[in-house]
């Protein structure tokens, strides 16, 4: 099967932000689009709003006037559900309530032709469950667009348990013909993006709950060190705390309260207090008029150490050695030691975050994982109450000499970026092992769906295939709740790699 013939009308049921966005995508791909909403007059209002957006595209020279006129002419508000009888595809974007979706599709089955493809845009419900109420669930597929649909390229094409292969293929090819980047996935809680992205929020909230750092500092480290487009706190304020928490709870419940997906108590309190983010004026941050912007913790200037002793190549942080030399700090190499740390002039050690804590060792400062140490503008350091003032000062001064802002956080195992990336990598390996999606589609989904600087498997290859498992093992030893226990898939991947490397 191929993409829908352009002569086949497309219907969008539901005229909220997502429904309007999907309708606009289909319109500009050349389809006749019928827009339906149960609320009287809502479809006509939505058609007017879509037409206005098309006019703005013409004004910005992103669309010719003729193409804009043709697109508006193809948009038809439907007054009755029966007006959708000749449609080749119906995309549902109504309330995220299972009963409402099932009722809609049952009604559509009695109206549309047998070859009409039915699609749900659900982000949190089971596609299998939505289709379970149909006489022919094989023609129902998930088409999960991301908001705003006209701008974001990713579409998750979700096959329910009963979805026909031909239906999924047709939906996939249609999304691609519409200029989108489709990824195929099985019907699992959260699909790809909302399943694998949970640690991005969860670990930031966990560091905050452990009083390791404040929201502004955690966000700054995720952005300026980790390479993420936004920090977890500012992003959930933008999404809406109630919306983000609802997705987290849905995934957690759907996985039978798996500890890896446990919601945040701090976020629960935020929602209970009505601080939902930008839309309510307050969330993790204060958006009210006159409010002072929250600033990350940044250490005061310290002198750079005259030299450091490199014991080993620093593993994933090896590019730091070149940066240190370029900054005029002498690097003395200990060729007999096979460790992965720097020794400072005062005798203290500077080590990449590995899932352990500073308090366990004599005079150790940890530094966080960076997406790109040369481009990073901020580095997080972690020290305990037993770390000497000289060692911490020398560590701060060293990174400041590299042109970095330095944020000192609490003695949090795995710090901020490192633990977040390790858990994302782990969930990605687990998803592949369970047939959710391919490595390539997962990497594509995480880059395009949530703007990660790298896909999980790209990260894994860059950091070393045993890195994530080793860090999570250390974290699990310090928090044996199961939250950080490496998945069997990641363990097998890491162990097999170690065996191959040992054999060579």
* Active site amino acids: 123, 144, 156, 194
Q: Do residues 352 and 316 lie in contact, with contact meaning Cβ atoms separated by under 8 Å?
A: yes
Q: Do residues 156 and 130 lie in contact, with contact meaning Cβ atoms separated by under 8 Å?
A: no
Tokens linked to 341: 């740390």
**Which residue in 459, 451, 387 sits closest to 421, CA to CA?**
459
Report helix, strand or coil for 362. Answer: coil
Report helix, strand or coil for 358. Answer: helix
b or e along 345-374 (b: 16 or more beta carbons within 10 Å of the residue's beta carbon)? eeebbbbbbbbbbbeebebbbbbbbbbebe
Residue 259 per-residue DSSP state: G
Residue 263 per-residue DSSP state: P
Tokens linked to 460: 């894994």
CA atoms within 13 A on the CB side of 123: 17
Tokens linked to 355: 């899932």
Length of the chain: 504
For 44, counting Cβ atoms within 10 Å of its Cβ (0-12 exposed, 13-18 middle, 19+ buried), the class is middle
Tokens linked to 343: 């020794």
Q: Do residues 4 and 135 lie in contact, with contact meaning Cβ atoms separated by under 8 Å?
A: no
C-alpha 215/C-alpha 211 separation (Å) is 10
CA angle 64, 68, 72 (to 5 degrees): 175
Tokens linked to 148: 């705003």
CB atoms within 10 A of CB 259: 12
What dihedral angle (degrees, nearest 10) is formed by the CA atoms of 204, 206, 211, 212?
A: -50
Biggest CA-to-CA distance, the chain: 79
CB atoms within 10 A of CB 489: 17
Q: Do residues 270 and 283 lie in contact, with contact meaning Cβ atoms separated by under 8 Å?
A: yes
Report helix, strand or coil for 140. Answer: strand
Hunting for tokens 């305990």 — which residue is that? 384
CB atoms within 10 A of CB 115: 10
C-alpha 404/C-alpha 324 separation (Å) is 12
Tokens linked to 49: 């709003």
Residue 203 per-residue DSSP state: H
């Amino acid at each position: 099967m191929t993409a829908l013939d352009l002569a086949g009308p497309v219907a969008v049921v539901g005229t909220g932000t997502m429904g309007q966005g999907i309708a606009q995508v289909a319109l500009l791909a050349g389809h006749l689009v019928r827009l339906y909403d149960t609320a009287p007059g809502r479809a006509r209002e939505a058609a007017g709003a879509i037409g206005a957006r098309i006019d703005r595209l013409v004004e910005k020279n992103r669309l010719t006037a003729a193409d804009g006129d043709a697109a508006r002419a193809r948009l038809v508000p439907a007054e009755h559900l029966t007006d959708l009888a000749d449609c080749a595809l119906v995309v549902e974007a109504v309330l995220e309530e299972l009963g409402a979706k099932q009722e809609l599709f049952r009604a559509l089955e009695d109206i549309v032709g047998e070859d009409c493809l039915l699609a749900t845009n659900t982000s949190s419900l089971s596609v299998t469950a939505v289709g379970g109420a149909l006489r022919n669930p094989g023609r129902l597929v998930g088409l999960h667009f991301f908001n705003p649909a006209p701008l974001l390229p990713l579409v998750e094409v979700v096959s329910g348990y009963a979805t026909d292969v031909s239906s999924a293929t047709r939906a996939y090819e249609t999304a691609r013909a519409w200029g989108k980047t489709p990824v195929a996935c099985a019907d699992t809680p959260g699909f790809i993006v909302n399943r694998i992205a949970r640690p991005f929020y969860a670990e930031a909230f966990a560091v905050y709950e452990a009083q390791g750092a404040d929201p502004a500092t955690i966000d700054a480290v995720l952005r300026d060190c980790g390479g993420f487009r936004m920090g977890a706190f500012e992003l959930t304020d933008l999404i809406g705390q109630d919306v983000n928490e609802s997705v987290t709870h849905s995934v957690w419940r759907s996985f039978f309260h798996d500890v890896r997906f446990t919601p945040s108590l701090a976020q629960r309190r935020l929602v209970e207090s009505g601080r939902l983010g930008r839309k309510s004026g307050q969330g993790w941050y204060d958006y009210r008029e006159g409010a002072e912007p929250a600033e990350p913790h940044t250490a005061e200037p310290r002198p750079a150490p005259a030299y450091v002793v490199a014991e080993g190549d620093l593993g994933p942080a090896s590019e730091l050695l070149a940066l240190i030399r370029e900054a005029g700090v002498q690097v003395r190499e200990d060729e007999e030691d096979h460790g992965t740390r720097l020794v400072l002039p005062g005798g203290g050690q500077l080590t990449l975050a590995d899932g352990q804590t500073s308090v366990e060792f004599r005079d150790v400062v940890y530094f966080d994982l960076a997406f790109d140490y040369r481009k990073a503008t901020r580095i997080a350091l972690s020290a305990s109450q037993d770390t000497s003032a000289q060692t911490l000062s020398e560590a701060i001064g060293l990174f400041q000499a590299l042109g970095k802002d330095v944020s000192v956080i609490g003695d949090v195992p795995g710090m901020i970026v490192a633990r977040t990336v390790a858990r994302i990598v782990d969930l990605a390996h687990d998803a592949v092992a369970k047939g959710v999606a391919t490595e390539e589609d997962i990497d594509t989904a995480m880059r395009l769906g949530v703007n990660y600087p790298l896909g999980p498997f790209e990260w894994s290859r860059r950091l070393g295939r045993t890195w994530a498992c080793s860090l999570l093992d250390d974290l699990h030893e310090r928090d044996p709740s199961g939250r950080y226990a490496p998945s069997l898939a990641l363990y097998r991947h890491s162990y097999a790699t170690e065996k191959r490397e040992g054999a060579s």
